[in-house]
Amino acid sequence: MNIKLLAIGKTDSKPLQTLMDEYMKRLSFYIKFDLEVIPDIKNAKNMSEAQQKQKEGELILSKIGPTDQLILLDDKGKEFTSMGFADELQKKMNSGIKTLVFVIGGPYGFSDDVYKNAKGKISLSRMTFSHQMIRLFIIEQIYRGFTILKNEPYHHE
Ligand SMILES: C[S@@+](CC[C@H](N)C(=O)[O-])C[C@H]1O[C@@H](n2cnc3c(N)ncnc32)[C@H](O)[C@@H]1O
């Protein structure tokens, strides 16, 4: 299985990008992982929230292949412990999925079409984080999940 993280808008913070690069490097020892960034929508300032979500949704769905499994990062999604998330990653690998795609929404979240095409929604907290910061948090949790599956001394219960 490969994992892809799809996000909207370039990371504008260098320290955040440095941390993401560090965890993506660590993660690459366990699995093929790609971050794909969809460029910010042009003229978003002249769009309503709904129009921006719709446009971002079209771009997100255009990046999803027919055999990809789409999981949304959503503060109203299912919550896991890190151990539970590691189990979930193992189940996904066992189920023969070729590419598991985690998607982070734009500043206003996802369009209805994106929700309709998703296989699941996961929440990293009931609190809302910025669409930039959540990238680092999910990358670190995926990395943590693999260290749990490999019994490596990164995660401590
Ligand atoms: C600023 S938030 C959007 C908030 C928007 N009101 C909504 O309803 O989704 C931008 C994106 O960050 C991600 N995100 C933010 N907080 C999250 C959390 N606690 N768990 C999972 N994803 C989160 C989601 O993908 C969300 O679409």
Quickly tell me which residue has 């299912």 as its tokens: 78
Asked if residue 124 has its Cβ within 6 Å of ligand 1, the reply is yes
Quote the tokens at residue 150: 């490999």
SS3 118: coil
Is 105 marked within a binding site? yes
ipTM for the predicted complex comes to: 0.97
pTM of this structure = 0.96
Query: Distance between CA atoms of 152 and 113, rounded to whole angstroms?
Result: 39
Q: What is the pLDDT of residue 142?
A: 98
Is 33 marked within a binding site? no
Span from the CA of 2 to the centroid of ligand 1 (angstroms): 23
The helix (H) or strand (E) run that includes residue 3 is: strand 2-8
Q: Tell me which DSSP letter residue 47 carries.
A: S
Span from the CA of 109 to the centroid of ligand 1 (angstroms): 6
Quickly tell me which residue has 């109203």 as its tokens: 76
Cβ partners under 8 Å of residue 12, min gap 6: 132
Strands 99-104, 69-79: pairing is: parallel
Q: What is the pLDDT of residue 43?
A: 86
Q: What is the pLDDT of residue 99?
A: 97
Asked if residue 76 has its Cβ within 6 Å of ligand 1, the reply is no
Exposure of 96 by Cβ count < 10 A (0-12 exposed, 13-18 middle, 19+ buried)? exposed
Exposure of 112 by Cβ count < 10 A (0-12 exposed, 13-18 middle, 19+ buried)? exposed
Span from the CA of 139 to the centroid of ligand 1 (angstroms): 15
Is 47 marked within a binding site? no
Is 11 marked within a binding site? no
Q: Which domains, ranges and CATH numbers included, belong to the chain?
A: 2-39+67-149 (3.40.1280.10)
Q: What is the pLDDT of residue 45?
A: 87
- Write out the chain's pLDDT in tens, 157 residues: 999 999 999 898 999 999 999 999 999 999 999 999 999 888 888 999 999 999 999 999 999 999 999 999 999 999 999 999 999 999 999 999 999 999 999 989 999 999 999 999 999 999 999 999 999 999 999 999 999 999 999 989 8
Q: Atom of ligand 1 at shortest distance to CA of 125?
A: 19
Span from the CA of 19 to the centroid of ligand 1 (angstroms): 20
